[in-house]
Amino acid sequence: MRNIFLFIRRYFNFLFFMVMQLVALYMLFHFNRFHEAAFLGVASKVTGKVNEKYNNIEYYFKLKKANEALVKENEELRNRLHENFDVPDTALKMFRDTVAFDSLGHFRKWAYLSAKVISNSVNFQNNYFTINLGSKHGIRKEMGVMSPSGVAGTVINTSENMAIVMSMLNIQFRLSAKLKKSGETGAVFWDGKNASYVTMINLPKSMPVNKGDTIVTSQYSTRYPQGVMVGTVAEVVDDKSSNFYTLKIKTATDFYNLEHANIVQNLFRDEQKKLEDSIKTNE
């Protein structure tokens, strides 16, 4: 113990400098979004390979649960096949040369690409996870990311072979969602507390809400298709001073065991954004 105190006394100035340097770096990267994004990009390149090797070992011991999730996802996808529905009247058609048609002559709006999660965090207020696909695979910022069960996050930074995703468990994450049974919309966000629950606000009291009701993405989202699972209502908070409910939502995605992801591309997003921005510039 005496030697420890002598060491601290001898190198006090150097140790104090290092502590203050760490504090300064933390404040720089934590409170400046540009520096935070740059730091995350560099860190992902350095740690990505190590995390990928580690996750290969961890993945082996979770194959059973992963297979169960994939089976459930395949079941949901099969239920969405066009063969399950009547072909609509094709007397009237809209043509767009720059967007490919599917075999039934429908416009494709959403495209998907499967990826593997190689790094993940759930214990902070601003959580992120890393996937093993990057810019050379067509991954870009602002793309939505889904787990086999539902919404997972949004791409915020990419390198050539990897991408960083802002998790839904991030206090900066926002999502337009709706009550599946009635279509009433509201805003979903995370309060930074429990990694298994998010909060939904702005849901009018004019519509009845019950525990167990399903919450899905709304038609106003440009990052996710309409109807993607967000979660189920775990608690309804009735604020007497407001005309809106506050809902506690059990997330459909298990962020503690996030291994697979689907990156979602809205093929019309750039066109929509350009059109909406043109209105803003004219105001």
Span 19-58, pLDDT tens digits:
888 877 777 666 666 666 666 777 777 777 777 777 777 7
Alpha-carbon span 147 to 221, nearest angstrom: 17
Residues recorded for the chain = 283
Nearest residue to 178 via CA among 215, 144, 212, 210: 215
Q: Which residue has the higher pLDDT, 104 or 11?
A: 11
pLDDT of amino acid 155: 96
Alpha-carbon span 273 to 254, nearest angstrom: 31
Express each pLDDT in 165-194 by its tens digit.
999 999 999 999 999 998 999 999 999 999
Nearest residue to 231 via CA among 178, 194, 182: 178
pLDDT of amino acid 100: 46
Mean pLDDT of 157-171: 95
pLDDT of amino acid 156: 95
pLDDT of amino acid 34: 65
| pTM listed for this prediction | 0.67
The 8-class DSSP code of residue 16 comes to H
Q: Which amino acid is at 93?
A: K
- Is 99 within 8 Å of 107 (Cβ atoms)? yes
Between 89-103, 125-139, 152-166, 254-268, the lowest mean confidence (pLDDT) is in 89-103
Write the CA distances from 80 to 62, 63, 264, 272, integer angstroms: 28, 26, 16, 25
What is the Cα Rg of the chain in Å?
23
Alpha-carbon span 196 to 188, nearest angstrom: 14
Alpha-carbon span 133 to 270, nearest angstrom: 21
pLDDT exceeds cutoff 50 at 215: yes
pLDDT exceeds cutoff 90 at 158: yes
User: For domain 109-283, which architecture applies?
Assistant: Beta Barrel (2.40)
Q: Which amino acid is at 55?
A: N
pLDDT exceeds cutoff 80 at 243: yes
